[in-house]
Amino acid sequence: RDDQMNFQSIINSVWNFPQLIRCNVDISIGERDLFVIPTKISTSLRYLNMYNNALKWSLINKLFEYTPYLKRLSMRIFSGTNDYYIPSSSFSTLIDLNIIIYYTSDTSSIISFLQNTPNLHRLYITLWSKFINGHEWKQIICNYLPKLKVFQLRMKRKFYDNHDIQEQANELVNSFQSSFWLDEHKWFIRCIT
């Protein structure tokens, strides 16, 4: 509890720097690397890298509430059971997002979050344990990310059963072979097994 209070105090002090534009957060308390949301608003912070600290879906709105002018964000999401993203407002200042998402049980939180980033120009996303196929990504991009210019996707998953792995991989790769991916955007995919 004391460690968390110290972490909170450090984060609040950082968020209070009036001229702070860029911030890299890498604070661990023992084995814990979960990010503590500030309780002070930073009106200057534009670039935040908290790649070594994880956030839960349920805390993203709070992060943007206290960091309302973020343009670039690098973060990891650790999603457990009963941890969902619930949309509140648009994150219209965000143009560059680098995100790693671990252990998401469904895609609804990912999609809901991306719906709130309409001005995103660059998206670098890594998904552990959950695949989103090319048809679904096309819908997400067309419907919610109209300004997206750079899209880098990595999906990683362990198969505990060797049944039809090649067939599943082929099906996934083929879903990214439409004219939307190859001709319109020239975004290509490869499968590394």
Task: List, as one string, the DSSP characters of 131-142.
Answer: ---HHHHHHHHH
Specify the pTM.
0.89
| 138 assigned to some structural domain | yes
Question: 184 in a domain, yes or no?
Answer: no
| Cβ atoms of residues 16 and 45 within 8 Å | no
CATH at 34: 3.80.10
Sheet holding 47-55, edge to edge: 22-24, 47-55, 72-78, 96-102, 122-128, 150-156
> Which contiguous run of DSSP H or E holds residue 3?
helix 2-16
Are 52 and 33 within 8 A, CB to CB?
yes
Mean pLDDT by 10 residues, the chain (193 residues): 73 93 82 78 96 83 94 88 74 96 80 94 90 93 97 82 77 92 90 68
By the 8 A CB rule, do 91 and 70 touch? yes
How far does Cα 84 stand from its chain's mean position? 13
Give me the pLDDT at residue 154, please. Answer: 92
pLDDT value at position 30?
A: 62
Residue 152 belongs to some domain of the structure:
yes
Domain membership of residue 127 (yes or no) is yes
In this prediction, residue 160 carries a pLDDT of 65
Distance CA 85, CA 91 (A): 13
The two beta strands, 150-156 and 96-102, are unpaired
Q: For residues 76 and 99, give the distance between their C-alpha atoms in angstroms, rounded to a whole number.
A: 6
Distance CA 61, CA 110 (A): 13
Total number of domains in the chain: 1
Cα–Cα distances in angstroms (integers) from residue 100 to residues 15, 57, 127, 134, in the given order: 23, 12, 6, 18
Residue 1 has what pLDDT?
Answer: 56
Is residue 35 in a domain?
yes
Provide the domain limits for residue 36: 2-163
Q: How far apart are the C-alpha atoms of 95 and 125, rounded to whole Å?
A: 14
Contact 149, 122 (CB under 8 A): yes
Inside any domain, residue 191: no
